Amino acid sequence: MTDTASPLLSSADYADAVAAAVAASAAYYTDGSTPLGDDEYDALLRAITAYEEEHPGEVLPDSPTGKVAGGAVQGDVPHSVPMLSLDNVFDAQELTDWAAGLERRLGRPVAGWCVEPKLDGLAVAARYRAGRLVQMLTRGDGLAGEDITHAADAVLGLPATLTEPIDVELRGEVLLTTAQFEEANRIRLAHEAPAFAHPRSGAAGTLRAKDRPYRIELTFFAYDAIGLDLDLSHSALLASLAVLGANTAASSAAAPLRCESLDAVQQRIDEIAALRAALPFGIDGVVVKADTAADRHQAGSGSRAPRWAVARKLAAEHKVTRLLDVEWNVGRTGIIAPRAVLEPVVIDGVTVTYATLHNPADITRRDLMLGDLCYVFRAGDVIPRVEAPLAELRDGSQTPIVFPSACPRCGDEIDTSEQRWRCVRGRNCQAVASVIYAAGRDQLDIEGLGGTRAIQLVESGLVTDIADLFTLTRDQLLALDRMGETSTDNLLAAIETARSQPLNRVFCALGVRGTGRTMSRRIAAHFGSLAAIRAADAEALAEVPGIGTEKARVVAAELLELAPLLDKLTEQQVGTQVTEPQRPGAAEAGDGADTEAAGEAGPLTGEAVVVTGSMTGPLAALSRNEMNELVERAGGKASSSVSKRTTLLVAGEKAGSKRTKAEELGIRILTPEEFAALLADHLPQD
């Protein structure tokens, strides 16, 4: 989904666009279930307007242009004075042009402006008789609204009684502040009602709802009145609304401000935009109004909007996108946190691909499913978060989010007693997992340091990271359960051998994301020592052949965190040996990612091969890395995950989901024996 709708080229495209806009508006103003973000809706409307300007004879009667609420909603209580919308401008130049147009119409400069936040809620009219609130209405189609008086007592800032016993109609915006939105969703979920996907749709639904078994509070901000002195400037009117007891935006940091010049207006817009992320309520723009009564009266209003005011829109903070996947990451303290993988969406100029999901209970309560369209919120520098799904828009392709049954990092149990799930190993989770990885055959190759022993070493407190392995003493090891003299001596000898493993293996043992064996070898060859690697920044790393700037940045960030460990390893004289030469035909593998190196010519030329399950027959002794090397030697490309690009799956015993997926995709599947026969000439000779 983009912010710029492409131009409409035919009357059929135009009719489709009108239908889409009307449907979106109807959804937007009733329950908020529109599939379009505001930017997308605005872009669609701009395309419709442009088409209508080019083809004035073709304008459809139900076109949303020129109508309040796009003509999508009605009401049955007539308004005293029409409740209009606002025209929009999207940048400083458009604002300047708009102001110039207004001054041309007036035939004189505007005598001062009032600049105030554009509150992202719903317009209401609140009628008072002798100072008492008697009726509340929605904007409807601008000429008549719906009676929503039943909702008035839950609206903070909208007094039941004014400070003066006058007849007046207050107009303003009703919204859910950020705190009210969170509280509302807490209450909704406790009542097993679906969470609100967006504060505005939550406010719209709440204003309309009757007979709910719970109460959700909203907030009113007054910005207009019918029945007060007609000669008041707008800024003076706002002040008298506050005196009457109504809440106004003057109560916030983005308080309305009178500005004498358009430069001052632009400056205030920038200030309010900068305050936006910190405001306790959502705004979708800044409203600029001619301040004096004389200017406003003379400018007058069109059928949809006044001519004396304009909304300078700000980029939407909420966007609709699709939830593609949920990743489970284990933090330093063992907290297992879900992270949403999204169809990339641009929010306020930043492409968002990931968003936080809090915890599993929250996912369940929000009833999120993979494939759902959902609102994603990003404001300022905060981490984007997924709000509730647009469950009305499900098409049957959605699937449940599967929660992990074991710690995704160390494989041990998960403590699910708290809202935030945690690996039972807590802080030790990371240590255990990294020691097991480092001791692996392709890294430091420390025989006798498998799962149980790694756990024992970490839990005894002797080892907190891999450098600690090199300071273990015989006495320390002998004091551990089930550690006899022989196994102690063997382990110490294996560790001693590991100390002189070449630099590339030591680097690989660090488990830096995105650096498997090949990349570790390249990094080691490029820098030559652990100290040089430690000193490398993203720029220096980017010079490593084939790394790319993005990976260089990620590696640099992780190395910064690992600096103390690198120092400890250097102190222990680990990794001082030169890099081992690349084995002939060996290619990068074991990163869990597609391999980079292109294969050589052979029986697998052009094949993208995935190996799964346990190997049998002539391949029984090969590790997964050796299998991958074999694939590359035979000219193929080895990969760890089945995708549409996969052409061949080698499925050994206990092949699970990869086999199912390959079958679904119609990919050729061979047994290890069949595969071995195909590659007879390339099998390792020993």
Name the residues annotated as catalytic.
118
- Residue pair 156/218 in contact by the 8 Å Cβ criterion: yes
Identity of the residue, 173 or 295, whose beta carbon is nearer to ligand NAD in the bound complex? 173
Instruction: Kindly tell me which residue out of 102, 119, 290, 642 binds ligand NAD, with binding defined by CB under 6 A.
Output: 119
Partners of 326 in beta bridges: 340
Identity of the residue, 166 or 393, whose beta carbon is nearer to ligand NAD in the bound complex? 393
CB-based contacts of 202: which residues, under 8 Å, 6+ apart?
32, 176, 181, 184, 185, 196, 216
Please provide the size of the chain in residues: 686
Q: What is the CA radius of gyration of the chain?
A: 33
Residue 458: closest CA among 508, 410, 512, 507: 410
- The interface region with ligand NAD, picked from 67-75, 90-98, 582-590, 625-633 by CB under 6 A, is 67-75
DSSP secondary structure, 652-680, as one string: -BT--HHHHHHHHHT-EEE-HHHHHHHTG
Ligand-binding annotation for 653, yes or no, is no
Instruction: Kindly tell me which residue out of 67, 378, 409, 658 binds Zn ion, with binding defined by CB under 5 A.
Output: 409
Identity of the residue, 84 or 469, whose beta carbon is nearer to ligand NAD in the bound complex? 84
**Cα maximum dimension of the chain:** 101
| Neighbour count for residue 13 (Cβ, 10 Å) | 14
- Residue pair 9/50 in contact by the 8 Å Cβ criterion: no
Token pair in block for residue 629: 């090397």
| Neighbour count for residue 557 (Cβ, 10 Å) | 13
Ligand-binding annotation for 343, yes or no, is no
- The interface region with ligand NAD, picked from 33-41, 149-157, 538-546, 556-564 by CB under 6 A, is 33-41
Ligand-binding annotation for 86, yes or no, is yes
Please give the single-letter amino acid code of residue 21. Answer: A
Identity of the residue, 265 or 627, whose beta carbon is nearer to ligand NAD in the bound complex? 265
Q: Is 311 in the site for Zn ion (CB under 5 A)?
A: no
Ligand-binding annotation for 661, yes or no, is no
Residue 467: closest CA among 578, 577, 572: 572
Min separation Cβ 97 and ligand NAD, Å: 18
Residue 607: closest CA among 634, 626, 586, 641: 634
Min separation Cβ 438 and Zn ion, Å: 16
69 binds, among ligand NAD, Zn ion, none (CB under 5 to 8 A by kind): ligand NAD
155 binds, among ligand NAD, Zn ion, none (CB under 5 to 8 A by kind): none
410 binds, among ligand NAD, Zn ion, none (CB under 5 to 8 A by kind): Zn ion
Ligand-binding annotation for 116, yes or no, is yes
Residue 639: closest CA among 597, 607, 595, 602: 595
Instruction: Kindly tell me which residue out of 70, 502, 511, 672 binds ligand NAD, with binding defined by CB under 6 A.
Output: 70
| Neighbour count for residue 53 (Cβ, 10 Å) | 10
Binding mask 129-148 for ligand NAD (x = CB under 6 A): ----------x---------
429 binds, among ligand NAD, Zn ion, none (CB under 5 to 8 A by kind): Zn ion
Q: Is 116 in the site for ligand NAD (CB under 6 A)?
A: yes
Token pair in block for residue 329: 């990451």
Instruction: Kindly tell me which residue out of 173, 442, 607, 632 binds ligand NAD, with binding defined by CB under 6 A.
Output: 173
Residue 17: closest CA among 80, 60, 67, 71: 60
- Residue pair 17/59 in contact by the 8 Å Cβ criterion: no
Q: Is 71 in the site for ligand NAD (CB under 6 A)?
A: no
Site for Zn ion in 415-474 (CB under 5 A): 423, 425, 429
Q: Is 336 in the site for Zn ion (CB under 5 A)?
A: no
Min separation Cβ 21 and ligand NAD, Å: 7
Residue spans of alpha helices (H) in 287-402 = 293-299, 360-366
Q: Is 20 in the site for ligand NAD (CB under 6 A)?
A: no
Q: Is 521 in the site for Zn ion (CB under 5 A)?
A: no
Site for ligand NAD in 426-465 (CB under 6 A): none
Min separation Cβ 299 and ligand NAD, Å: 15
Identity of the residue, 251 or 419, whose beta carbon is nearer to ligand NAD in the bound complex? 251
**Size of site (CB under 5 A) for Zn ion:** 7
Sheet holding 637-639, edge to edge: 637-639, 608-612, 648-651, 668-670
Residue 146: closest CA among 197, 86, 200, 83: 83
Question: Among all chains, which residue has been given the structure tokens 């905060």?
Answer: 382
Ligand-binding annotation for 374, yes or no, is no
Q: Is 321 in the site for ligand NAD (CB under 6 A)?
A: no
Ligand-binding annotation for 568, yes or no, is no
328 binds, among ligand NAD, Zn ion, none (CB under 5 to 8 A by kind): none
CA distance linking residue 276 with residue 50, whole number of Å = 31
CA distance linking residue 592 with residue 519, whole number of Å = 13
Identity of the residue, 427 or 474, whose beta carbon is nearer to Zn ion in the bound complex? 427
Instruction: Kindly tell me which residue out of 5, 89, 123, 667 binds ligand NAD, with binding defined by CB under 6 A.
Output: 123
- Residue pair 145/152 in contact by the 8 Å Cβ criterion: no
Q: Is 308 in the site for ligand NAD (CB under 6 A)?
A: no
CA distance linking residue 138 with residue 167, whole number of Å = 19
Partners of 649 in beta bridges: 610, 669
Binding mask 271-300 for Zn ion (x = CB under 5 A): ------------------------------
Site for ligand NAD in 216-235 (CB under 6 A): 223
Token pair in block for residue 79: 């308004």
Identity of the residue, 43 or 429, whose beta carbon is nearer to Zn ion in the bound complex? 429
Ligand-binding annotation for 313, yes or no, is yes
Identity of the residue, 127 or 453, whose beta carbon is nearer to Zn ion in the bound complex? 453
Identity of the residue, 434 or 625, whose beta carbon is nearer to Zn ion in the bound complex? 434
Q: How far apart are the first and last CA of the chain?
A: 56
- Helix-, strand-, coil-residue percentages of the chain, each rounded to 5: 40, 20, 40
CB-based contacts of 312: which residues, under 8 Å, 6+ apart?
88, 89, 90, 95, 118, 269, 285, 286, 287, 288
CA distance linking residue 160 with residue 176, whole number of Å = 19
Q: Is 629 in the site for ligand NAD (CB under 6 A)?
A: no
Min separation Cβ 326 and Zn ion, Å: 18
Specify binding-site residues for Zn(2+). Answer: 407, 410, 429
* Site residues for ligand NAD per CB under 6 A: 24-25, 28, 34, 36-38, 41-42, 68-70, 85-86, 88, 116, 118-119, 123, 139, 173, 223, 287, 311
* Site residues for Zn ion per CB under 5 A: 407, 409-410, 412, 423, 425, 429
Specify binding-site residues. Answer: 38-42, 85-86, 116, 139, 173, 289, 313, 407, 410, 429
Specify binding-site residues for NAD(+). Answer: 38-42, 85-86, 116, 139, 173, 289, 313
